[in-house]
Amino acid sequence: MAWAAAALAWSVGLPASHAAEPALEHALRVASYTLSARLDAPQHRVSGHGTIELFNYTEVPLRELYLHLYMNAFKNDRSLFLRSPFGAGRSGQHGHKWGYIDVKRLYARELSSDLWPAHAPASPGDAEDETDVRVPLSRPLEPGKTLTLEVEFEVKLPQVIERTGYVDDYHFVAQWFPKLARLMPDGSFAHFAFHPQSEFAANFGSYDVTLDVPAGDVVGATGQCRPTPATAGRRALRCVADDVHDFAWTSWASFEERREQMAGVDVRVLTPPGHGRNAQVELDTVRFGLTHFGARFGRYPYPTLTVVHPPEAAGDSGGMEYPTLITTGGPWYAPYSGARAIEAVTIHELGHQWFFGLFASDEHRFPFLDEGLNSYAEHSAMAARYGAGSAFEGLGLSVSNEALARAISAARGADEPIAQGAGDFFSFRSLGAIVYSRTASLFSTLSRVYGARNLDLALADYAASARFRHPEPAQLLDAVRGRLGDGAAKNLRRALFERASVDYLVRDVQSAASDPRAGVFDEASGRRTVPRSEIRPPARWVGHAIVLRHGTLELPVQIELSFDDGRRERRDWNGAGTRYIVSYEGPSKLVGVTVDPEQRVLLDDDLTNNAMRSEDQGAPRAFERLLYWAELLLGGGLP
């Protein structure tokens, strides 16, 4: 059946071009899990057992497995995750209450072999880390065959740190079971230690997980959950999900639940008491987002979506995505502040259902394919819904997510390439600026320069070709080339891989009468002296300006000329070459030049040098506002 395996490998592999690839309806089931988990809430422990099925879809026999034991990231401060003296990951936290996983048994049914005794740590180049283990097989697993692993394990949860753990009786359980590293088409495993800057990668499969929790707890989990019989004082739920690649759950007695059917999806929102307004905002945002993203990146295919809003004290478990389950966060009064933080985090995590969930790119090797593209999707969705004030509206100001991302991107954008592994970034702050903000600004720039409709089509092509296929950057480049052209694809490749940047600036503006004719002239009638005062007003004016492009991105821009009679005129520059010389002759004086007047190039390193006038206009509005604030300050704010 090698041909069948090869065909399947093609469907999950990465041929050169997929720009017009039709979307798959379902994923290939490579790694499927049937697990039972019992939560001992007072001890913050989870006991688990069940089976893991691995289908060898490749064309080569497998002689080993790699398992990720990511709960061991919180076992001690010698793990790769907690080793840094500056604190771990995005939160910068140190471990307070340790968490770990003990695998008790790993038995290969088809091989009649207990595999666990032969396991060995395998975190690449890291002897102290215990989050990545190699398990040799006693016999090879041939192509097209399935291996069933019987597994038993015990998890001690940490106090909430980086999206998993407990606070009091609240539990959020993620990265909690022994999980197969992603089997690649060539028969290798994409295994890696739990890096503080990295997220995850796994094969698709089916998950059938039975959860046993205290009777009063409200549970949120990946998949569709239905009650099953439980022992006294306990509650059991069986949660089933197909075409997914991870499973997370939460259990807390104090959750309040809201539920709504939208676009054929059963949406549940779990919030702490007192967060009714947040729950409503999250429901409204999901209702908008399912339609908005569905129209752009393909239908959301799962019957359920659970939104978990953790209590504030467990905020580090928020702002994360899992298949069919997302976590948000924020104080109960956040919706009244003028900032749209709840909306932004909800739409961002919802967007991950496509980029992380359905496409399942490798977040370790190329985090920009998930976080970067998703940040662009988030900003576009927020702009579509809220306009210029998509991030904040108040104090007479409207600030957009795109403007904030652009500023962050410009501050750090040229430090590192966008397209590199999560662990290769200097720090999470650098990754945040470059992967999240710069990628978003890059795609906003492509949208504004080459047309929003064209980029929407390109991303729709990419989404179709990426759905259930673990995409790589080449697919994205192909999709952009197909709809936006070679120039756009060239700029995209440079921006992604070469730290390419751009700064358009106006260097000089001059304007003068075209033919002053002042001076001493020898004419037929004799010598005549024309004083300057006689030549005003001039009939014609000439103008001259120099617009420069610094950097290696060649993006087309417009150049706007402003005249003293209020008239404006636009010129197009295709961005080729390093300078554009503006030559003008006309009836009015050239008083100013602006490059990229509509701020299409959000990757522009410096927006303050995009314009030049013959006379500085000062900043009267800023002066007035500062004056008022200073006067209020002197009055102590109150009489």
Partner 1 sequence: MTALGPGELRARHRPGLILALAGTRLAAGLCLAWPLSALIAGSGVGQRVEGDRALFEGGGYLLAELLRLRGAELEAVARGLLPVLAASLALTTAANGALLVGLDLRGRLRLRELLSRTAARAPTLLLLGFGTGLAQLLLLVAGVLALAALPEPLAKPVPATAGQAALWLLVALAAGALGGFSDVAKASLVRHDSRLGEALARAFQCVRHRPVRATFGWVPWALVFLAAAALAARLTGLCDVSRAGAWRVAAVFALHQLVIVTAVAARAAWFARALRLVATDA
Q: What is the DSSP string of 310-338?
A: --GGGGGG-SEEETTEEE----TTGGGSS
Is 581 among the residues that bind partner 1 (CB under 8 A)? Answer: no
- Rounding to the nearest 10 degrees, give the CA dihedral for residues 622, 627, 630, 632: -110
Q: 304-308 and 325-327: which strand pairing?
A: parallel
**Per-residue binder mask for partner 1 (CB under 8 A), 260-289, x = binder:** ------------xxxx--------------
Distance CA 135, CA 120 (A): 7
Is 618 among the residues that bind partner 1 (CB under 8 A)? Answer: yes
**Between 536 and 621, CB nearer to partner 1:** 621
Structure tokens at 603: 């990757």
Using H for helix, E for strand and C for coil, what is the string for 177-218?
Answer: CCEECEECCCCCEECCCCCCCCCCCCCCEEEEEEEEEECCCE
Is 592 among the residues that bind partner 1 (CB under 8 A)? Answer: yes
Is 594 among the residues that bind partner 1 (CB under 8 A)? Answer: yes
Q: How far is the CB of 507 from partner 1 (least distance, A)?
A: 12
Number of residues interacting with partner 1: please give it, by CB under 8 A. 70
**Per-residue binder mask for partner 1 (CB under 8 A), 330-369, x = binder:** -xxx------------------------------------
Taking CB under 8 A as the binding criterion, the range among 8-16, 30-38, 381-389, 447-455 that sits at the site for partner 1 is: 381-389
**Between 61 and 597, CB nearer to partner 1:** 597
Q: 519-523 and 526-530: which strand pairing?
A: antiparallel
Taking CB under 8 A as the binding criterion, the range among 69-77, 206-214, 389-397, 475-483 that sits at the site for partner 1 is: 389-397
Q: How far is the CB of 395 from partner 1 (least distance, A)?
A: 8
Is 525 among the residues that bind partner 1 (CB under 8 A)? Answer: no
Q: How far is the CB of 423 from partner 1 (least distance, A)?
A: 28
Distance CA 200, CA 542 (A): 61
**Between 333 and 521, CB nearer to partner 1:** 333
Q: Which of residues 128-147 bind partner 1 (CB under 8 A)?
A: none
Q: Which of residues 197-256 bind partner 1 (CB under 8 A)?
A: 253-254
**Between 59 and 256, CB nearer to partner 1:** 256
The CA–CA distances, whole Å, from 463 to 206, 327, 346, 353, 554 equal 22, 23, 21, 12, 27
Q: What is the DSSP letter of 474?
A: H
346: burial class by Cβ within 10 Å (0-12, 13-18, 19+)? Answer: buried
- Sheet containing 170-173: give its strands across: 165-167, 170-173, 249-252, 218-221
The CA–CA distances, whole Å, from 593 to 92, 257, 512, 543, 561 equal 46, 57, 15, 10, 5
**Per-residue binder mask for partner 1 (CB under 8 A), 404-433, x = binder:** x-xx--xx----------------------
**Between 264 and 387, CB nearer to partner 1:** 387
**240 bridge partner residues:** 208, 224
Taking CB under 8 A as the binding criterion, the range among 144-152, 298-306, 460-468, 619-627 that sits at the site for partner 1 is: 619-627
**Between 5 and 334, CB nearer to partner 1:** 334
The position carrying tokens 């953790």 is: 310
Is 312 among the residues that bind partner 1 (CB under 8 A)? Answer: yes
Q: What is the DSSP letter of 86?
A: T
Let me know: does 246 contact 281? Beta carbons within 8 Å.
Answer: no
Q: How far is the CB of 589 from partner 1 (least distance, A)?
A: 13
Taking CB under 8 A as the binding criterion, the range among 186-194, 305-313, 450-458, 510-518 that sits at the site for partner 1 is: 305-313
Is 7 among the residues that bind partner 1 (CB under 8 A)? Answer: no
Q: What is the DSSP letter of 47?
A: E
- For binding to partner 1 (CB under 8 A), which residues are involved? 167-170, 253-254, 272-275, 311-314, 331-333, 387-389, 396-400, 402-404, 406-407, 410-411, 560, 562, 568, 591-592, 594, 597, 599, 602, 606-613, 616-624, 626-635, 638-639
